[in-house]
Amino acid sequence: MEINIGLLISYTVTILIMIGVPVALSFLVVWRFKVSWWVILTGVVTFLVSQVIHYPVLQLVSGLFNDGTLPVPAPEWIPLFNAVILGFLAALFEETARYFGFFIMKKKTKRVESSVGLGIGHGGIESIGFAVWPFFPLFGGALINFFYILFYNQGAQIANGVSMDQVQYTVAQIAQFWANPWHLGFLPGLERLIAISTQIFLSVLVWKAVRTKKMGWFALAFVYHMLVDGIAVFLTYTGWGAWGIQGVLSVFMLANIYLIYYFWKEESDKRKELAEELGVSPDELEDDDIDDLDDEDVEFEEEFDDEDDAFVSAESVENEEENSAEESDKEK
């Protein structure tokens, strides 16, 4: 059987991306930015926990539509309906798990670098799972499938009792794989890069929600996750080609990278200002110092509110004095 060399190379690059990128990023943030391996592991656990709940619920909802318990929309609305439902469920379980992950690891995720680390763990285990686990979560095993295609032995299969029809069917499937255009092998790798960048950005948003105690950041992460997943589903159901879909999603990847950089720089600038006030380098700052900065922000807001209350109180006293004076004049 003739092997498509171009496809062989592109698919090999994709597998290296799916496994190598999350591993390399994990070591980078741990070695260069001192992120705890526990934070990376928390990202892994948040993804796995979310999927343990997500997919049974997804199957349950699908079953309710299939047996008529829930009404099925008109055919023209199905692409949008599926996009909303699937995007909502993915955001619901993954962002909730991510939030609790940050809440539990709050003491180890005080720096923005830790939010990136948790995102790498979350998106990285998904990428590695698609590469090495055949049923992850519903399909996958790119590496195992690739090895199977490369080293499939017809004679050995027949010797092991596999029927001739099954062997011929498998050979036909392998031939069909090698007949694909060479560039098709890059698609899974590009899709994983987009997904990893999205998971990191979502982790930054949820991290801000936990650190600032402002749930607006969580809501933004929820809507963004729902939007990205929903667009992918909608385009798939409306007949877009694979490259077209990934082209649209690549716009989100560029936005993810920019926004991750923006929030990272914002937090770094705050740290530099604090370091200058304390007369130390930013790398010498302890996590307790960052807590102090957060406390100062809270105290400033409280003082500002107190000043407003004092101003209102003073104004109220002045008004009462004016009213008393007017009443005295009337009595006279």
The sign of the torsion formed by the CA atoms of 181, 182, 188, 191 equals negative
Task: Work out the pLDDT band at 283, boundaries 50, 70, 90.
Answer: low
Task: Work out the pLDDT band at 302, boundaries 50, 70, 90.
Answer: very low
The pLDDT of residue 271 is: 81
User: Is 60 exceeded by the pLDDT of residue 303?
Assistant: no
Q: Which residues contact 108 (CB under 8 A, 6 or more apart)?
A: 36, 38, 39, 114
C-alpha to C-alpha distances, 11 to 195, 248, 249, 261, nearest whole angstrom: 18, 22, 20, 30
Lowest mean pLDDT segment, chosen from 17-21, 31-35, 81-85, 159-163: 159-163
Residues 165 and 309 reside in one and the same domain: no
The pLDDT of residue 163 is: 85
Residues 211 and 317 reside in one and the same domain: no
- Please tell me what DSSP assigns to residue 70: S
Single pTM value for the model: 0.83
Task: Work out the pLDDT band at 133, boundaries 50, 70, 90.
Answer: confident
Residues 206 and 226 reside in one and the same domain: yes
Final residue belonging to a domain, choices 260, 278, 296: 278
Residues 229 and 123 reside in one and the same domain: yes
Final residue belonging to a domain, choices 256, 278, 300: 278
| Domain assignment of residue 301, given as a range | 286-331
Task: Work out the pLDDT band at 169, boundaries 50, 70, 90.
Answer: confident
Residues 164 and 207 reside in one and the same domain: yes
- Section 2-9 average pLDDT: 89
Residues 184 and 66 reside in one and the same domain: yes
Residues 228 and 318 reside in one and the same domain: no
Largest CA distance in the chain: 119
The pLDDT of residue 310 is: 47
Task: Work out the pLDDT band at 137, boundaries 50, 70, 90.
Answer: very low
Residues 262 and 125 reside in one and the same domain: yes
Mean pLDDT score across all residues of the chain? 85
Of the ranges 7-11, 176-180, 285-289, 294-298, which is most confident?
Answer: 7-11
Residue 142 burial class via C-beta count within 10 angstroms: exposed 0-12, middle 13-18, buried 19 and up: buried
- Section 68-79 average pLDDT: 90
The pLDDT of residue 312 is: 46
| d(C-alpha 122, C-alpha 194), whole Å | 13
The pLDDT of residue 136 is: 45
The pLDDT of residue 332 is: 43
Residues 174 and 307 reside in one and the same domain: no
Residues 152 and 229 reside in one and the same domain: yes
| d(C-alpha 208, C-alpha 263), whole Å | 10
How many structural domains compose the chain?
2
- Section 31-56 average pLDDT: 95
The pLDDT of residue 140 is: 55
Residues 234 and 297 reside in one and the same domain: no
Residues 311 and 231 reside in one and the same domain: no
The pLDDT of residue 193 is: 97
The pLDDT of residue 157 is: 81
